[in-house]
Structure 1
Amino acid sequence: MKIKFNWGTGIAIAIVLMVSGMLYLVSIATSQDYYLVEDDYYQKSINYQQKIDKIKNVNLLEEKVQLTQLGSNLQLSFPALFKHDLLEGTIQVYSPVSERNDLNIPLQLDSTLQQLVEVSRLPKGRYKIKLDWTADEKPFFQELEIMLE
């Protein structure tokens, strides 16, 4: 038995193809991992003026924190002007690709005002190092970028 191809058959085939294509796209859309970059983005936007003030404090420094990659470690070197200050804070290794690759580490400098951060378990890619610290109750915030290879 031969199927006659006419306008009605063509329209029916077009509708079936369109509906199946839409169902395919809907299935792809529902299987995507959608998450916010930050879970508490609303609270962070409210506190953004405090972050701006911290960045201004860093911009007033003569020397900034230096970041170097030493093999599978990152070395953070703080300026010598903080030698006599009590430094407290956090280091966040932030991955714009996936929250699973983020690291949060407390600031624990040695006597030379340096700290090594091990990043051997992180996948290759671009990362932001977010330093949030206080020195004698004066807050600072600095962002550095690095490409892990």
Structure 2
Amino acid sequence: MKINWGTAIVIAFICFIGFIMYFVVNMSTNDKYDHDLVVEDYYKQELEFQKDIDKEKNAKALTTNISWKKSEEGIVITFPEELKINKIKGKVFLYRPSNKQLDFETPISLSDHNLLIPDNRLLDGRWNIKVDWTYNNKPYLYKAEINY
């Protein structure tokens, strides 16, 4: 039996569509390929975005902003020296883009102008840090990407 060009093209299209459908079904049903949003409450966070912009403007208006550095004990977050530490309130959120199970949040509790994030909580790789804090009831926000 001889196959002409038209029949060969139709067979090729059917094989290609079958191949693509196999991968679509496999990717959507297999638990190995998890397709979660980046964060669980994505839409809620999107509505809060303007507030975050205002907080970041407040932080940039400071004479010195928050800084961080890597140390042997972990990550040291340094708050501005001119601020009184007993009036600083807030939380630090560390977000791991590659694995949401590693994300964690810690409250800000300062004895001096430094906050230590212990090394045992951090794996090597990329982390996004978000420091949401207030000073004299004025909100501030600091964001950074850390390669630990």
TM-score interval, normalised by the smaller of the two chains? 0.7 to 0.9
Computing the radius of gyration over CA atoms, which structure comes out larger, 1 or 2? Answer: 1
Residues 26/73 of structure 1: CA separation in 2 closer, same or farther (3 Å cut): same
Q: TM-score when scaled to structure 1?
A: 0.81
Equivalent residue of 2:94, what SS? strand
RMSD between aligned residues = 2.3
Q: What is the identity, as a one-letter code, of the residue corresponding to 2:69?
A: T
Between the two proteins, the alignment pairs up a number of residues equal to 143
1:133 Cα deviation (Å)? 0.5
Where does residue 109 of structure 2 map in the other structure? 108
User: Which AA in structure 2 matches 1:28?
Assistant: N
Q: CA contact under 8 A between 1:90 and 1:104: conserved in structure 2? A: yes
Which residue in 2 is equivalent to 1:7? 3
Offset at residue 126 of structure 1 (A) = 1.2
Q: CA deviation at 1:141?
A: 0.3
Instruction: Decide whether the 8 Å contact of 2:79 with 2:113 is kept in 1.
Output: yes
Task: Say if 2:54 is the partner of 1:53.
Answer: yes
Q: 1:78 to 1:121 in 2, by over 3 A?
A: closer
Measure the CA separation in 1 of the matches of 2:85 and 2:12: 76
Contact 1:67 1:144 in 2 (8 A): no
* Unmatched 5+ stretches in structure 1: none
Q: Residues 55 and 139 of structure 2 are in contact (CA less than 8 Å); yes or no, is this contact kept in structure 1?
A: yes
How far off is 1:40 after superposition? Answer: 1.7
Map 1:6-85 → 2, pairs under 5 A: 6-7=2-3, 14=12, 17-18=15-16, 20-30=18-28, 31=30, 32-83=33-84, 85=86
1:24 deviation in Å?
3.2
Q: Percentage identity across aligned positions?
A: 29
1:102 is matched by which residue type in structure 2? D
Q: Residue 143 of structure 2 aligns to a residue in which SS?
A: strand
Tell me if 1:122 matches 2:122. yes
